[in-house]
A and B are shown apart, each in its own frame.
Chain A
Amino acid sequence: MSATLVLQDVARHFGGVPAVDGVSLRVPAGQITGLIGPNGAGKTTVVNLITGLLHLTSGKVLLEDRDVSREEAPDLARAGVARTFQNIRLVPDASVLDNVIAGFHRHEKAGLWANLLGLPSARAETAELKRQAMQLLERFDMTALAEHRAGGLSYGHQRRIEMMRALATNPKLLLLDEPVAGMNDAEAESLAGIFRKVAADGVAVLLIEHNMRFVMSLCSHIYVLASGRLIAEGLPEAVGRDPKVVEAYLGA
């Protein structure tokens, strides 16, 4: 079975120092795959390599069997790669709704002149996107905050906006970079339900996390990264018992 995303022996060096080295992994559609590791293991570097924000030093990235190693970030986004950011990145002065609508960008069809002049086709499209965005807001239980300034909301709400914006792109591959950092267990559990549903709809989800317990409960397959190298992979229970993983997390 071919996976949505395949990394083959991927490496990235910064001035000769390897940040990520020899990483190979597979993220199949319809499942949540975990990528865990202690601070500074290179998890976010892997996400930046997949999304084209950084370029590989060596190795290959395959998206649905197509080599995308050299493609630029906007092209990858248009090909169906979406992500959330570890440090929240929104348009703080725009409303929640407008932040989510921005995620639909790659599906917009109205022409430049229609959008510049506000012609009916652009209006109809924006109205339709607003409707779809409201559905997303409903799913995340945030309809009451639709018109609020995104930057004024709580941390948990801002994380949800990031996720809605990523889902609005209707991705094939969704990269979640520490999506529940700083949330309490109840909040994290409600998001876990949403992630399961997204995966069940056929999206390949790569969950980058710190929180072992959360990853264990959610992922069908886990990769463990430490100092830029994969040190273990497999089913959650097996990985959790692996002495190398325990050592990386707790120290020797």
Chain B
Amino acid sequence: MINFFYTYQSLFDHILVYALLAMSQYVVLRAGVFSLGTAGFAAMGAYGTALLITKAGWSPVAAIAAGALLGTVTSALLAFPLSRLRGVFQAVATLAFVQIVLSATQNWVSLTNGALGVNGIPKVASTPVLLVVVVVVVLLLVAMGRYSVGRAMDVIREDETVAVSLGISVPYYHRIAFIVSGALAGLGGALQATSSYAITPNEFGFSMLVAALTMVVLGGRTTVWGALVGAAILTSLPELFRVFADYRNVVQGILLMLVIVYLPRGVADTVLGRMRDRRLRRAALASAPVPEQKPQIVNTNMEAGAHP
């Protein structure tokens, strides 16, 4: 029983850390920035925090703040050249950044211990701490999505030509999204380091990059709930499929393909969309004292809405 609880708790921690990374990926995708930099910023946050604690003797809280700041500052520096690029060029440029950070963690042995990684990091990011951080970040991102910045990002993601014709500066919002993404990834990395006793370079490699991206695609790109749902599903899935340990990646890949084909908007976006349609249908029925014309029009629109 105790054993089960411990397994469960570490899984929960893992979900919360990955939720931060997925939200970092969500912010850029929402604004139409095809950045893959999350894994790189997370590595910087994790190594910064771990080394400040173990080598420089900083207090864990200050080190976590510094790790998050490191992610923020790096992304702010990269944001200026990257906001001039688009689509696949942004993807390639950020991939190159991840590669540089990974090489540094593997080969700058005097600082990072190379492939051995950093050990003996105190576990200060307990489950409640992680939970509070994730809740605060979710609230901030919900606020960000609801007002001017979120609206501008939606228009840019959907159609840059429309955005510029409404006077929206695309590079400006790309930079904001990129910096927020870097800050969240830095924070996620810092918390990963302080919740798992040790970090190694290969945690931050291609698999983390793919995981963060997959979570957002699986969960849904237009709301922050998509990132949370994606992180929960994709992190707990390997545990549920322990029986097929050898085929874990295969199962994950099949699931992703099924979602892309049958729920292209992602799990959370599809569910939220259905809920909205149902709410509107109910409201239309409730406010239909004259059932001659209006409800009919509204119903056909609903049908169209349910099957895009």
A106 to B167, CA, bound (A): 6
Which of the residues B143, B168, B176, B276 comes within 8 Å of A105, measured between beta carbons? B168
A144 to B280, CA, bound (A): 10
Question: Is B169 an interface residue, CB under 8 A from the partner?
Answer: yes
When the two chains form their complex, are residues A108 and B148 in contact, meaning their CB atoms are under 8 A apart? yes
A145 to B280, CA, bound (A): 9
When the two chains form their complex, are residues B152 and A105 in contact, meaning their CB atoms are under 8 A apart? yes
Question: Is B120 an interface residue, CB under 8 A from the partner?
Answer: no
Instruction: Mark A142-176 against chain B: 1 for CB-CB distance below 8 A, else 0.
Output: 00110111011110010000000100010000000
When the two chains form their complex, are residues B308 and A169 in contact, meaning their CB atoms are under 8 A apart? no
Contact stretch, chosen from B7-15, B40-48, B60-68, B297-305: B297-305
Contact A105 B162, CB 8 Å, known A93-B265, A145-B301, A152-B302: no
Q: In chain A, what residue has the closest Cβ to B155?
A: A102
When the two chains form their complex, are residues B166 and A77 in contact, meaning their CB atoms are under 8 A apart? yes
Residues of A196-250 whose CB lies within 8 A of B: none
When the two chains form their complex, are residues B146 and A126 in contact, meaning their CB atoms are under 8 A apart? yes
Contact A90 B158, CB 8 Å, known A105-B167, A147-B280: yes
When the two chains form their complex, are residues A115 and B164 in contact, meaning their CB atoms are under 8 A apart? no
Chain A residues bordering chain B, tally (CB within 8 A) = 48
Q: Is the interface of B mostly helix, strand, loop or mixed?
A: helix
| B8: min CB distance to chain A, Å | 34
Instruction: Mark B130-167 against chain A: 1 for CB-CB distance below 8 A, else 0.
Output: 00000000001011101111011011001101101111
A203 to B151, CA, bound (A): 26
When the two chains form their complex, are residues B149 and A77 in contact, meaning their CB atoms are under 8 A apart? no
Q: In chain A, what residue has the closest Cβ to B158?
A: A91
Q: In chain B, what residue has the closest Cβ to A106?
A: B167
When the two chains form their complex, are residues B276 and A122 in contact, meaning their CB atoms are under 8 A apart? no
A220 to B284, CA, bound (A): 42
How many A-B contacts if CB must be within 8 Å? Answer: 125
When the two chains form their complex, are residues A110 and B273 in contact, meaning their CB atoms are under 8 A apart? no
Instruction: Mark A115-150 against chain B: 1 for CB-CB distance below 8 A, else 0.
Output: 111100011011000000000000000001101110
Contact stretch, chosen from A9-17, A25-33, A81-89, A180-188: A81-89
Contact A152 B308, CB 8 Å, known A53-B165, A103-B166, A165-B166: yes
Which residues of the partner chain B approach A102 to less than 8 Å between Cβ atoms?
151-152, 154-155, 166
When the two chains form their complex, are residues B301 and A53 in contact, meaning their CB atoms are under 8 A apart? no
When the two chains form their complex, are residues B161 and A115 in contact, meaning their CB atoms are under 8 A apart? no
Q: In chain A, what residue has the closest Cβ to B222?
A: A93
When the two chains form their complex, are residues B305 and A126 in contact, meaning their CB atoms are under 8 A apart? no
A123 to B284, CA, bound (A): 27
Residues of A28-65 whose CB lies within 8 A of B: 51-53
Q: In chain A, what residue has the closest Cβ to B168?
A: A105
Which residues of the partner chain A approach B86 to less than 8 Å between Cβ atoms?
none
Which residues of the partner chain B approach A153 to less than 8 Å between Cβ atoms?
301, 304-305
Question: Is A98 an interface residue, CB under 8 A from the partner?
Answer: yes
Which residues of the partner chain A approach B159 to less than 8 Å between Cβ atoms?
89, 91
Interface residues of B (CB under 8 A from A): 140, 142-144, 146-149, 151-152, 154-155, 158-159, 161-162, 164-170, 176, 180, 222, 265, 269, 273, 276-277, 280, 284, 294, 298, 300-302, 304-306, 308
In the assembled complex, 22 residue pairs joining A and B whose CB atoms fall closer than 8 Å, in A order, are: A53-B165, A73-B164, A74-B164, A74-B170, A77-B164, A91-B159, A93-B222, A105-B167, A115-B144, A115-B148, A116-B140, A117-B143, A118-B142, A118-B143, A118-B144, A126-B146, A144-B294, A148-B280, A148-B301, A148-B305, A152-B301, A157-B301
